[in-house]
Amino acid sequence: MRFKIYCVVLVFALLFSPFLIGDESSDDSQKAKSQSSSLQHEIVVTATRVETPSQEVASSITVVTQEELEQSKKSTVVEALKEIQGLHVTQSGPRGSASSILLRGANSEHTLVMIDGVEVNDPITPARSYDLAHLTVENVERVEILRGPQSTLYGSDAMGGVINILTQKGKGKPSLHLRTQGGSYETFSGEARLSGSTDWFHYSLGASHSRTQGFSAANTLYEGNEERDGYRNLNLSARLGASLTSNLDFDLILRSTNSETELDNYGGPYGDDPNYTQKYNNHFVKGQLHGEFINNRWEQKLSISYVGFDRTHQNPTDDSHPYNSSNSQYHSSKWNLDWQNNLLLHPTHTLTWGVEFQEEKGQSEYHSQSLFGSFSSLFPSQTARNIGIYIQDQMQRAQRFFFTIGGRLDYHSQAGTALTYRVAPSYLIQSTGTRFKATLGTAFKSPSLYQLYAPATLWGPIGNPDLNPERARGWDLGVEQKLFQDKLELSATYFSNQYKNLIDFRSGRGYINVAQAYSRGTEWSFRFQPINEISLSSSYTYTDARDKKTGDRLLRRPQHKLTGNFRLHFLQKAHLSLSFIYMGQRKDLFYMGWVSKPVTMPGYPLVNGVLSYDFSPSLQIFCRLENLLDKEYEMIKGYGTPGFSLYGGIQLDL
């Protein structure tokens, strides 16, 4: 009944929205939000849902800019995230293999991934996570990584943080960007982007294709692993927009991903499989109306989006596995309706509130054949709905004290209600360039469709419709210092997160709310740019993530992560970028058949480099080198990683 009441409230509110009743404000009035601060800093949107100078944001947020994506010559988003502070990436083999993102020690499913503010976590995965391995950087303007509990603005899944991939909006005269590169492991990729704008219309169209023969997903350091596992990927994207009236515009964002990945049965000895493949399709559509009313003091965004996933796994018999075969299919979709309001009460005071409705569906089927006979597992189509109401207040005083407070109420059709809050103050001493910041917030994760409804087997129950949401509470405290006319930036942050009611699988009982965990640590960083042609940056993260009941370290979380980056522009046309990553020891499990044993993974260093030369303002050649030290290492025990790799390419901008 409460769910139906929330829906009625949403419809009633929309009927009386200025989207429908119009606005008679003057075209010459100035946007009050542009007067909110005279500080000139990078603008971020994910931390508050409102475009805000980073200097005013207390949250721990890292932005990977389009310029940085361009300089790195990376092809996928997951590659671009490997050097990010407080974030650890794991991948089970070569490009296209399943990837996981661990933010501040949280589980991968506790990171909410969004594209242009739309949640894209896959409803049919066991814990509703998202695999970034297939998402390319073509048509991406920047990536914002927000660390810490964030459910107040974004609802379920944002217990560890949020990754928001923001696509490019066309500007100015028509421009064409072309890039192609190839190299090790018989890898080839190409991308194209066409963008521009007129007085009333903007467009940005992108396409990318890549293929590689790869290397064995099951590490060749172990016996029986020789066959290479290839990958192909096609991404198409578009962002179109039009000004409908002087104060109302419309945006349409589309993205389609189609890929095929060759897999192995498992990591470790004799994990090879010559004909095990996954086909992956993902479709994304978002339409948004944006308007500014009452002398541009009431900004509204009304968006509707659809995300669809289709995955199939095929593993027929072969010479190595003459009696074993399997096939499976996974289908899911997610609809989202979001109505956001930003009321600019004063140049120093913004009130944000909104309502978000979401519906997710999923189904799957699995079939296998072996010497023991046939086996099937069918997961019939299931649906869950959620409606959330959120409010946030942003204030500042004398461009020194900045304060954000917010709360949210969510109602899940099966798991019930969840109430979350967040407080984020910061204080800037302009005369010394010193800034103190702190955040305190809570978050939740509603049970996935599989955790709720997976059918029982002969060995006992799996799904549990009585599951409660998982819960998190976290805080951080930090200081930032700028010196030498902002040429040197130093920062240090301490964080602590507590997780309870975590959903775990227990044999004979299925999924239950039983686990507890915590993560805490420190993040240090510096950036130094003595002159325009040289820049240095480094970061260090210490993470202590443990099971709260046993005290054991959580798997695959490195205690220590150190990164460094050096960029040099020389001879007026040449560019050099060198990056360094050191990953400390991690705990893992080594699976051998039906048994596993705990292992300690050794730390490893990685050195990468990019060298480019501008033959003209529109033509550039480049060379990218990965793992310069040719270090043998593993992200996940038993799975392969690339050795020294060399790629070369050409870029054309017209």
Residue 227, classed as helix, strand or coil, is: coil
Angle in degrees, CA 210, 213, 216, rounded to 5: 130
Mean pLDDT, rounded, for 550-557: 95
Residues 6+ positions from 629 with CB-CB distance below 8 Å: 605, 606, 607, 644
Res 14 pLDDT > 90:
no
- Ranges of H-type helices in 353-435: none
**Both structure tokens of 60:** 């721990």
Res 493 pLDDT > 50:
yes
Mean pLDDT, rounded, for 598-606: 96
Q: Which of 305, 294, 409, 287 is nearest to 342 (CA)?
A: 294
Pairwise pLDDT comparison (398 vs 443), residue with the higher score: 443
Q: Is the dihedral of CA 629, 635, 641, 647 positive or negative?
A: negative
Q: Identify the helix (H) or strand (E) that includes residue 621.
A: strand 619-626
Res 389 pLDDT > 90:
yes
Between CA 495 and CA 522 the distance in angstroms is 6
pLDDT value at residue 18:
47
Q: Which of 486, 493, 485, 451 is nearest to 468 (CA)?
A: 451
**Mean pLDDT score of the chain, rounded to an integer?**
92
Q: Identify the helix (H) or strand (E) that includes residue 604.
A: strand 604-616
Q: Tell the residue number behind the tokens 């010193």, with chain if given.
A: 434
Res 3 pLDDT > 80:
no
Percent of the chain's residues with pLDDT above 70: 94
Mean pLDDT, rounded, for 269-274: 92
pLDDT digits (tens, 9 = 90+) for 171-221: 999 999 999 999 999 999 999 999 999 999 999 999 999 999 999 999 999
pTM confidence score: 0.93
- From the CB of residue 106, how many other CB atoms can be counted at a distance below 10 Å? 28
Res 1 pLDDT > 60:
no
Residues 6+ positions from 290 with CB-CB distance below 8 Å: 248, 249, 250, 251, 299, 300, 301
Mean pLDDT, rounded, for 136-144: 93
Mean pLDDT, rounded, for 74-81: 92
pLDDT value at residue 563:
97
CB 51 within 8 A of CB 33: yes
- Ranges of H-type helices in 230-271: none
Between CA 191 and CA 653 the distance in angstroms is 12
Mean pLDDT, rounded, for 413-424: 96
Between CA 431 and CA 398 the distance in angstroms is 13
Q: Which of 3, 199, 229 is nearest to 97 (CA)?
A: 229
pLDDT value at residue 118:
93
The model's confidence at residue 35, banded by pLDDT at 50, 70 and 90, is very low
Residue 78 main-chain phi, psi, to 5 deg:
-65, -35
Res 510 pLDDT > 60:
yes
Residue 426, classed as helix, strand or coil, is: strand
Residue 527 main-chain phi, psi, to 5 deg:
-130, 135
CATH code assigned to 2-20+38-653: 2.40.170.20
- From the CB of residue 150, how many other CB atoms can be counted at a distance below 10 Å? 28
Mean pLDDT, rounded, for 603-614: 97
Beta-bridge mates of residue 265: none
pLDDT value at residue 17:
45
pLDDT value at residue 22:
44
Total length of the chain = 654
Res 246 pLDDT > 70:
yes
pLDDT digits (tens, 9 = 90+) for 336-388: 999 999 999 999 999 999 999 999 999 999 999 998 889 999 999 999 999 99
Burial level of 581, CB count in 10 A (0-12/13-18/19+)? middle
pLDDT digits (tens, 9 = 90+) for 96-129: 999 999 999 999 999 999 999 999 999 999 999 9
